[in-house]
Amino acid sequence: RRLMRIQGSVRQMGELIDALLVLSRISRHTLHREIIDVTALVESIVQDLRQKEAFRTVQIEIQPGMSVHGDRRLISDLFVNLLANAWKFTSRTENAHVEVGASTHGSMATIFIRDNGAGFDMAHEQKLFKPFQRLHGTAEFEGTGVGLATVARIIDRHGGKIWAEGKPGQGAVFYFTLPTMPLTEQFLLMQRAMA
């Protein structure tokens, strides 16, 4: 039993080190921006999640036609983290449901990922995006406590914002903004609006 505990701790430490390395690389990563089909990206990630846990039934709603302008690798990491969280935190929910949608305002898209899982107390919202600030114990849900900090840093690198709403036992929704076009086009739109 002690050996199993030691093995589990070593595995957790390895995962934590990997997560911290990813978090530190994001700040140094050179952004290669392009138009990204968010709908196709989300569908691909959901397909991977379904293959990993084929025994689970999760109803997924994905809005068609979503796109953003950003670094493909980082945007992919962002959606992998958020969708894996929604998948994980609905694991104890009957009739699990995850919804991904977006609305566009000028040159920015506001995207949301909503689930009906474990949720969280809004009194602790400020802790969500800081490293190692977990709102659920590791015995309840596995994780490193670095995923949402990684997501926040990626969004910040793209000039966006992130916030969340939730209720314990009633799910959570994560909102974030990302650009939908290159900076030069955003600048031209702003100039036209001011003229």
Instruction: Give residue 145's identity as a one-letter amino acid code.
Output: G
Residuewise pLDDT in 10s, the chain (195 residues): 777 777 776 676 666 566 555 656 777 778 899 999 999 999 999 999 999 999 999 999 999 999 999 999 999 999 999 999 999 989 889 999 999 999 998 889 999 999 999 888 888 777 788 765 555 445 554 655 678 888 999 999 999 999 999 998 899 999 999 999 886 555 445 555 665
- pTM here is 0.79
**How many whole angstroms separate alpha carbon 129 and alpha carbon 172?**
14
Question: DSSP per residue over 152-164, as a string?
Answer: HHHHHHTT--EEE
